[in-house]
Structure 1
């Protein structure tokens, strides 16, 4: 395999994998190099993963951005994310099989792992605190989608682009010398959302809905279709996304300050920005997802 197609992970490797906002132990079953979202997505390394203790029906192909090496730094990140969701007692689908003791220590990251992974784990952790009421929203959403088999009705109003415009308008009478940075942050949030939605912000049960909605609105960006529910998921991922950039500390601090302020604003306006009820997926949709 050429360097252009170098895979960070290999078959049978134990990793930590994002499913929604949390990290879970998973095993790489297969590797491939393709797009998970043709024709919109770019080709790249993808992995078929099995989440330990979950039914086989939850196995899924994920992009490299959703997987992390099994090492002490990332295990600490897993614990930190779990602590952020005190209301979720056990965010793992039950399996009818036996629960054998874990061999967690077996698969440690190899010394030959990609340099960027080592650089990432050495960088200081960047915290973007999620307000408690918004954490509760994320926990309820997990229940609605993964347990109750419900969906966010799409397209959403307001969508992410509109939400960011609403936030911008709320600050018009408070312009500062950092107004240019403020505009760049909002533009960056929208760009990140459009790049990350299909790759790392969806639960498995939502992926068929994503395929359907992209076919229905081929000329729209994801930020013009999805709303505050999925925007919150992006904020959970921002610490990891920022850690993988080459931003200097001043830029990181400015970005973090603005992200925290957006979250506080969302916390104050839940009725305007977030769903209170989800829609039940049709039997036909459920059948497609399970097939």
Structure 2
């Protein structure tokens, strides 16, 4: 068994840390040695990290596999992840010869943006912790698509609708799982998925596949075509999506409890729900994407 002297990082060290599929700057607050996989008794180093610019409520213990040294190569990897992640907004280039009037308009727009940001930061915060094994799935998902130029074979079985039905069936005999909130949450997950997939949940390399599959399945919703891999990406986006609603704290707490339970169930059944291997994109497909 390894010992504590083999820990890669030290307290107060600045690192890059995976949170979902992206890398963020973080500082190690504490180090420890714990059982990482209780059923098997495997032990290893863990680190309490604080993400730079994030509230302390996001501080968390992470295994060593989620932390990277702060160096040029890993900073480049961070930039590459951010660039290829779905939902990234392109910067609007500045135009030369702007008039004084347009400058005033930009200032007013900026003031409005600041007001909206202040309003956003005052809203209740929701934190949806994703199990480490599913975080590893998200990282593999990104690498398969953006680095290895592979794709999730579509249509998926089980698809998102089927996955949510499977989860509902698994809760039938449990107290409180037939109530209105439970049903609304599952309906809401499907609705969010159908609204977000095309705009927020696809990597650039997948967009042509999306165009092609929609042409062949015009009578179906995205939740009837895509599966657990893309559903998992939605859970990464939920904190941001919920923050832009007008939900009160009690409603957010109830929603969070249900989302966490779905993730735990997905973790338990990941072999049935998530792919272990993706398919290679054809040379013709790669040519179309590059063009």
TM-score interval for Structure 1 and Structure 2 normalised by the shorter chain: 0.5 to 0.7
Per the normalisation by structure 2, the TM-score is 0.64
Distance 1:42 1:112, change over 3 A: farther
Distance 1:79 1:252, change over 3 A: farther
Contact 2:155 2:225 survives alignment (8 Å): yes
Contact 2:171 2:177 survives alignment (8 Å): no
Q: CA deviation at 1:5?
A: 59
Q: CA deviation at 1:156?
A: 0.3
Aligned residues: 291
Distance 1:227 1:49, change over 3 A: farther
Q: CA deviation at 1:116?
A: 3.5
Counterparts of 1:239-258 in structure 2, within 5 Å, are 239-258=239-258
Q: Which has the larger radius of gyration?
A: 2
Deviations 1:102-148 (A, max 9, x none): 99999999333164333112324310000000000000111100000
Q: How far apart in 2 are the matches of 1:235 and 1:47?
A: 24
Higher helix share: 2
Unaligned stretches of 5+ residues in structure 1:
none
Deviations 1:233-266 (A, max 9, x none): 0000000000000011111111000000000000
Unaligned stretches of 5+ residues in structure 2:
none
Distance 1:171 1:51, change over 3 A: closer
Distance 1:165 1:44, change over 3 A: farther
Contact 1:160 1:224 survives alignment (8 Å): yes
Match of 1:101 in 2: 101
Distance 1:174 1:61, change over 3 A: closer
Contact 2:86 2:200 survives alignment (8 Å): no
Over aligned residues, Cα RMSD in angstroms? 19.0
Distance 1:136 1:45, change over 3 A: closer
Deviations 1:154-200 (A, max 9, x none): 00000000000000000000032871100000000000000000010
Contact 1:26 1:52 survives alignment (8 Å): yes
